[in-house]
Amino acid sequence: KAGVTQTPRYLIKTRGQQVTLSCSPISGHRSVSWYQQTPGQGLQFLFEYFSETQRNKGNFPGRFSGRQFSNSRSEMNVSTLELGDSALYLCASSLVGSPTDTQYFGPGTRLTVL
Amino acid sequence: SQKIEQNSEALNIQEGKTATLTCNYTNYSPAYLQWYRQDPGRGPVFLLLIRENEKEKRKERLKVTFDTTLKQSLFHITASQPADSATYLCALVPSGTYKYIFGTGTRLKVLA
């Protein structure tokens, strides 16, 4: 079974630009969560999608948004990039998003904002 | 304020010894607590889940304890090996939510 894939793996942008990251979950998984990982703040929950609906949201500004398609693939968008958005963005998929499900993480997208 | 704290310093131990990692939390009522392993340049990998009504869980050389009175979880790796060297993250899921709150992780190095 193929794992969670994320594209692109690396991205360099400048302040003020916007970026879209993509995540393909494991086949059959309907829940996709997004996280931001930085050395200072660790791994922080952004949002979770299930059946094309945002079901849970973390404490991030509205510049961070996402969506999920009918095939469970998900995209995350960050608008008006700031230097502090430089981070590793991870997505994770699970069967239905229950805490007793195993979350499988992708390798991440390393975003650098200059 | 709500916090999850893990040993911020790296933990170095000798091969064969038991590594014990700590996860302390305040102002949460977690229904579940999970432990993950993360290697450099990779996403975290799920290791163990423990529920609030469970005291201890084991899987091969791994053991997790969960003390809701002390608001602490301990993660043990027995007979540690250099291949166990990685960063270990705890994550809790507060009651009534599906949001995962992660600690900042502890870097473990097992010396041969």
pLDDT tens for each residue of B66-108: 998 999 999 999 999 999 999 999 999 888 787 899 998 999 9
Output the average pLDDT for chain A. 95
pLDDT tens for each residue of A36-48: 999 888 899 999 9
Nearest CB among B32, B34, B104 relative to A42 is that of B104
Give contacts of B 53-92 with A, CB under 8 A: 89, 91
CA distances from A40 to B8, B16, B43, B92, B100 (A): 11, 32, 17, 19, 18
| Lookup result for tokens 């995350």 | A76
CB atoms within 10 A of CB B51: 14
Segment of A65-69, B4-8, B94-98 carrying the highest mean pLDDT: A65-69
Residues B73 and B85: their CA atoms lie apart, in Å, by: 20
A33 touches chain B (CB under 8 A): yes
**CA-only gyration radius of chain A, Å:** 13
Q: Helix or strand or coil: residue B23?
A: strand
B105 touches chain A (CB under 8 A): yes
Given a contact cutoff of 8 angstroms between Cβ atoms, the answer to whether A93 and A49 are in contact is no
Contact B101 A98 (CB under 8 A): no
pLDDT of B1 reads 65
Share of chain B above pLDDT 70, in %: 97
- List CB contacts (< 8 A) between A107 and chain B: 41-43
DSSP H or E segment with residue B36: strand B30-38
Q: Take residue B1 and report the two structure tokens written for it.
A: 């304020």
* DSSP 8-state assignment for residue A9: S
Residues A72 and A85: their CA atoms lie apart, in Å, by: 25
Nearest Cα of chain B lies from the Cα of A57 at a distance, in angstroms, of 8
Q: What count of CB pairs under 8 Å joins A to B?
A: 54
